[in-house]
Amino acid sequence: MSEIDFKNLPDQEWRQRLSPEEYFVLRQAGTEPPHVGEYTDTTTEGVYACRACGAEIFRSTEKFESHCGWPSFFDPAATDAVYEKVDTSHGMVRREVLCANCDSHLGHVFEGEGYNTPTDLRYCINSLSMTLKPAE
């Protein structure tokens, strides 16, 4: 079986693979409402994978409680798991976080907010953009 080239999947294929809510977040850079995501308050140990392609993007060991309304991480699972680009939507400048494997929108990263984490970064990630694979 050949590997799927997620970066070149046509829009119609993404619409078939994802629910309308997942498509809105992952493919249209949407944001789920705060405090409603399934992973916002979870403390389950495991690996978070991109809901669109299954690539490992974050680990529970880097998740922390920021009280911002979305799951927060201080570092991605690997240096090449995600990438960032400038987002100037909504009248502000932010750093958008995308899956390096499929270019799907995951959330945004913020710096210098004073959280007691090793990186001083907060990867604010939509629950709809991930699936949690619990540790065995």
Q: Which amino acids are annotated catalytic?
A: 124
Of 19, 104, 30, nearest in space to 70 by CA: 30
Kindly list the distances between the CA atom of residue 37 and the CA atoms of 48, 62, 71, 94, 118, in Å, as whole numbers in the listed order: 14, 18, 8, 21, 25
Residues 6+ apart with CB under 8 A from 17: 9, 52
Of 100, 99, 101, nearest in space to 125 by CA: 99
What tokens appear for 31 in the block? 């944001």
